[in-house]
Chain A
């Protein structure tokens, strides 16, 4: 299963070329009109397996999330974590490097729910800082 971390937004088809106007001369671009760019196709490669989720917190909470990071369930709590492999040892870390190391409770029940496959971060409401 994949997860797309998103903070806000919905699919926006962007017209690649201007549409011809209704009256006047036919546009010379008519024969060259292509399909609209579909952002969904860019972000979602495996449709039935891709789920949108919102990242909790402010609009920059997801800025440390990258493709391949995991959404994991630890004892019934779901959160994003980073997969770390050192030699044969595998561990989980917080997605934010400012947080201290993440230690799994010794007998925790851990299950991977999904893998981050992209994120949408509209800049409209994002604050600098």
Chain B
């Protein structure tokens, strides 16, 4: 049977999650802001109609939100992550192979479903997700991931399609591709779009009909792959098993500029704590951390500085205390006062599975003792919530002045027993 892939995604997913738990948001415009309440990253149809653009900075739209009655939320990733897990659990009941592509998008393998039944299955899937979780979705179906993604875009654009667009039929697909501007294709950005237009293409059909080899010269192998995928020849497989992490980064903007070493060290220690948690979850370790921090280009009046400092550990580890010690040492080594730092981060590459990694000949860490301690810390944080137990250097989360701002975050309705929605009987 022919290959078919579906892409299902939540309509303005973050806003939809907020609406499920607060019925007063039902028909009003809603937006969700990025970390640190930086800019708008999710908008309902009503908010889009009021001219709120994607990525528009919060300070520019604050007044407009107030006068237009737009409800504004900080991102509530605990809630969105839980709702995403619920949706994916439902998807797995519909297809044996699901690739979680992002927090609100998943690819489903529908190759085993007869072609004439696919649209019906997709409608059933949408209805089930809406009924069970309250999240509205759209589904795009195609013989390749690129076409499924395009179909999903069309399903969103054209209300008449009822939220489902199937591009597996070749004649129907040709009509849609001839009518759709090429910028709507997954992987074609503004730069490659301009190059394609210079080659004489205007629509998706134009890109599909390009000779793949010259296209590779202009758009690299990525462009060549897009052409084949638009022709219905799959180049991208479903990744149903998450690939082993090769690197890991923890970076955050400060909520206010940082000028003192003590505060910077606390931020770096908190990042190292988070890094340790992430590594332990994958049973991975690292023997190399790079710390960086820099000032903001928006602070034109004050001195600009950007530094990075690397440290090598005697052997790979995921022990928070070892990581904190190494990272703060690296940060201190390149410290220079008199600057207003805006962001700090940790980066590590070449992660190794800890169990099979080579031990140091001399100066090795007491891995067994550390592992027991870290297991206890992780258990506490699972039981009493993230940040319940942290190294003293990282500071208690509520007292971190530099910490990311979530001033307008809704309750973590589904993951915290003390933040459950409250419903009355009167």
Contact = CB atoms under 8 A, between A and B. Distances in A.
Contacts of A51: 413-414, 421
Interface residues of B, number: 22
A55 B133 contact: no
Contact of B133 (A49, A54, A61): A49
A76 B22 CA distance: 8
Interface size class of A (residues with CB under 8 A): 20 to 34
A94 B426 contact: yes
A27 to B, nearest CB: 26
Contact of B424 (A3, A47, A79, A113): A79
B425 A76 contact: no
Given A48-B90, A52-B420, A57 B425 contact: yes
Nearest to A11: B417
Contacts of A10: 417
A1 B23 contact: no
Interface in B10-67: 23-24, 26
Given A48-B86, A73-B26, A65 B425 contact: yes
Given A10-B417, A48-B89, A52-B414, A78 B423 contact: yes
30 contacts: A1-B132, A1-B133, A1-B134, A9-B417, A10-B417, A48-B85, A48-B87, A48-B90, A49-B131, A51-B413, A52-B414, A53-B421, A55-B423, A56-B423, A57-B424, A61-B425, A62-B425, A65-B425, A73-B23, A76-B23, A76-B26, A77-B23, A78-B421, A79-B423, A79-B425, A80-B423, A80-B425, A94-B425, A113-B23, A113-B134
B21 to A, nearest CB: 8
Contacts of B169: none
B421 A99 contact: no
Interface of A: 1, 3, 5-6, 9-10, 46-49, 51-57, 61-62, 64-65, 71, 73, 76-80, 94-96, 99, 111, 113
A115 to B, nearest CB: 11
Nearest to B83: A48
A1 B131 contact: yes
B1 interface: no
Contacts of B413: 51
A95 B413 CA distance: 23
Given A1-B132, A1-B134, A49-B132, A80 B89 contact: no
Contacts of B85: 48
A80 B422 contact: no
B243 to A, nearest CB: 25
Interface string B405-426: 0000000011001001111111
Contacts of B423: 3, 5, 53-56, 71, 78-80
Contacts of A95: 425
A103 to B, nearest CB: 14
Nearest to B25: A76
Contacts of A54: 420-423
B384 to A, nearest CB: 11
